[in-house]
Structure 1
Amino acid sequence: MISRRFERALVTGGGGFVGSHLCDRLLRDGTEVVCVDDLCTGTTRAIAWLLRHDGFRFLEHDVAGPLPPLDRFDLVAHLASPASPVDYLRLPLETLRTGADGTRHALELARTSSARFLLASTSEVYGDPLEHPQRETYWGNVNPIGPRSVYDEAKRYAEALTAAYHREYGTDVAIARIFNTYGPGMRADDGRMVPTFVRQALAGEPVTVHGDGTQTRSLCYVDDTVDGLLALAASAEHEPVNIGNPDELQVITIADEVRRLAGRGSPVRHVAADPDDPRQRCPDITRARAVLGWSPRTDLTDGLRRTIGWFADADVGDVQSATRGE
């Protein structure tokens, strides 16, 4: 294990949920940050607090196209991609191009800058897993032509390309397989489980659970995810590392906890299960503990309470319109 500090970082997808939190942490650690985002799933209103920072520069650009001339960086963090089902089903070709051409452009910048390259991959590379919990050595069970394939295969290709750059050029790469992450700053309308449950519960509406709710997820609070990403970036690790919370819960349990904390008396309403929706999702984080000294610290109830509080304090209508560019 090694540790390093970064002077200048480029973060693709820095206007997104995890990306904006990563930019914020880098800035607070004294790193100058250039954020590249095409705003296909948001607007600059979502990163207004970052734009006021002297060390932050925003560049509106689609990373599927060649990057404009930029100075050298010592960290290139590639987080660009539509990440919620609502977004990648709406933008299937854009998602594939970002995983392919966007990853190549980010890797080329890292290679020519002799920078550390951090790929934000996903637990979706495991598909609907036949191994449980999922270790990094598991190759996955993915439907390559299903509706979720545009995201799953884009990330799998991005991992393959990243590994090839390391073998061919010796590029200093890191691959983070991020499991379900939640927290303040999520879009209320992005279609993912936690913001959907929170939005519905705060409005006193039925909380919609897909299927019977016995499918499992493991939720990691965003601050812990960012800690893991930075620990991986600062390490010498080149193999994929799971970044997630190993506490596995049924979706119905998560819905009930959101309902309890919101205190609005919302009922549960079961709806049809999504196609190819994984039945089980839980990371084995043995490698993260061993090579990074990292594990999540935020209790689910505490993290959900902070998230619900943020949504309750925010003007959800403004958040939704901002992220849709209205």
Structure 2
Amino acid sequence: MTLIVVTGAGGFIGSHLVRRLVREGHRVRGADLAHPRHEPTAAQEFVTVDLRDPVQARCAVAGADTVYALAANMGGIGWTHQAPAEILHDNLLISTHTIEACRAAGVRTTLYTSSACVYPGYLQREPDAPPLAEHRVFPAEPDMEYGWEKLTTELLCKAYRKSHGMDIKIARLHAIYGPVGEFDGPRAKSLAMLCTKVARLDGDEGEIEVWGDGTQTRSYCYIDDCVEGLIRLARSEVTEPLNIGSEERIDIASLVDRIAHVAGKKVRCAFAPDRPVGPRGRSSDNTRCRQLLGWEPGTTLQAGLERTYPWIAQQVAAGEESADG
């Protein structure tokens, strides 16, 4: 049986991907700095490694037929503003050592997870900005240091494909969300953090702080769709970067209303326009995904929230009970 390695298997997307691959009957090795926080890993083998070290990167991918390279120092907008040097430093090392290790090990297929953060800021300055198509990445103006590293590694992947004949796929992920992910602190993404704030309200109504003025827009992609897209891309003949995201766009104020409805609460927004908000408008253009994979993410935001909010609310309640106890 061939071996599939998932780096970043201790993280949100990685843990879901491992579970799906194991369910399909594959032999999977997870690799990360730590095991998943919220539930045990499904991987038959899990190695604790620091991919900033080239020796450990080689150990992580040894014997692999396919490597899903998800590992990264990442988080929500709070984290990207808090630790830009750490993010750039760590991710350059992780990505470079992982790709070189895959080359040296003769890995058949490597899939690198990039990000919508590679897209230029000048395309995202209005809430109704057009969806982001893959060819619009240049002239470059990525989103902060995290985006610059992702774009740099995309170029590295392209160079390795050209120089070494490697089969490297690139997935540009757009705002992935779902249960069993970070929901609190600077590493939590916007949707999860808003769910947490709503869950922490005392009673069935109240006010939460919302960064920005509420008009900024995003398209959120549910975790199951993300995993499906990654697997389809890895098994395809596609050689160019490909968006994996939803085309269903929503503004943040409306997102709060949606979360409140799922929670059965009345929520008022206390907007904080002085806090970081990132691009004013970001959504995925799935034209190429439909053309090249014959597929696109199909989970509606409503359906995804109905699966995500209850899990986050349960974690919040458990944490409060633990603190009270």
TM-score range, shorter chain: 0.7 to 0.9
C-alpha distance after superposition, 1:149-201 (max 9, x if no partner): 22111111111111110011011010000001110012121342111111111
- Contact 2:67-2:107 within 8 A present in 1 as well: no
Unaligned runs of 5+ in 1: 1-5, 322-326
Q: Which residue of 2 aligns with 1:23?
A: 18
* Structure 1 residues 97-137: Cα deviation after superposition (integer angstroms, max 9, x where no partner): 34322112221232232321101000000142427211100
Structure 2 residue matching 1:46: 3-state secondary structure: coil
Secondary structure of 2:192's match? helix
State the distance in 2 between where 1:92 and 1:231 align. Answer: 32
Q: 1:203 aligns with which of 183, 189, 200?
A: 200
Change (3 A) 1:282 1:22: same
Q: Which residue of 2 aligns with 1:49?
A: 40
Aligned to 1:139: 137
C-alpha distance in 2 between matches for 1:263 and 1:285? 33
SS in 2 for 1:62: coil
How big is the shift at 1:291?
Answer: 0.9
Work out which of the residue numbers 69, 76, 83 in structure 2 matches 1:78: 69
SS at match of 1:225: helix
Q: What letter matches 1:46 in structure 2? A: R
After TM superposition, the structure 1 = structure 2 runs for residues 97-108 of structure 1, keeping only pairs within 5 Å, are 97-108=89-100
Q: CA deviation at 1:37?
A: 1.3
What is the correspondence of 1:110-259 to structure 2 with a 5 Å cutoff? 110-111=102-103, 112-130=105-123, 132-139=130-137, 149-189=144-184, 190-204=187-201, 206-259=207-260
Tell me if structure 2 keeps the 8 A contact 1:212–1:270: yes
- Comparing 308-317 and 16-25, the one that deviates more: 308-317
What percentage of residue pairs aligned between the two structures are identical?
33
How many Å apart are 1:47 and its aligned residue?
5.6
Unaligned runs of 5+ in 2: 124-128
Distance 1:87 1:109 in 2: 28
- With over 3 angstroms needed to count, the CA separation of the structure-2 counterparts of 1:283 and 1:129, relative to structure 1, is farther
Q: 1:248 to 1:48 in 2, by over 3 A?
A: closer
User: Structure 1: how far apart are the matches of 2:36 and 2:63?
Assistant: 28
Q: Secondary structure at the match of 1:177?
A: strand
Q: TM-score, normalised by structure 2?
A: 0.86
CA contact (8 A) 2:211 2:276 kept: no
275 and 299 in structure 1: CA distance in 2 versus 1, 3 angstrom threshold: closer
User: Distance between the aligned counterparts of 1:180 and 1:140, measured in 2?
Assistant: 21
Matched-pair contact (CA < 8 Å) for 1:10–1:76? yes
Q: In structure 2, do the counterparts of structure 1 residues 228 and 88 end up closer, same or farther at CA, with 3 Å as the change threshold?
A: same
Distance in 2 between residues matched to 1:303 and 1:276, nearest whole Å: 23
Q: 1:256 to 1:32 in 2, by over 3 A?
A: same
Match of 2:30 in 1: 35
Aligned-partner residue type, residue 241 of structure 1:
L
> C-alpha distance in 2, partners of 1:113/1:107?
11
Residue 3 of structure 1 corresponds to which residue in structure 2? Answer: none
Question: Which residue identity is paired with 1:76?
Answer: V
SS of the residue corresponding to residue 279 of structure 1 reads coil
Question: SS at the partner of 1:117?
Answer: strand
Q: What residue in structure 1 maps to residue 88 of structure 2?
A: 96
The AA in structure 2 aligned to 1:93 is A
Q: What's the Cα RMSD here? A: 2.3
Query: Quick check: 1:64–1:101 contact (8 Å CA) kept in 2?
Result: yes
| Structure-2 separation of matches of 1:114 and 1:35 | 16
1:225-252 deviation per Cα after TM superposition (whole angstroms, max 9, x unaligned): 1100110001011100000001111111
Question: Quick check: 1:279 aligned with 2:280?
Answer: yes
Determine if contact 1:136/1:242 at 8 Å carries over to the other structure.
yes
May I ask how many residue pairs the two structures share in their alignment? 305
CA deviation after TM superposition for structure 1 residue 60, in Å: 1.7
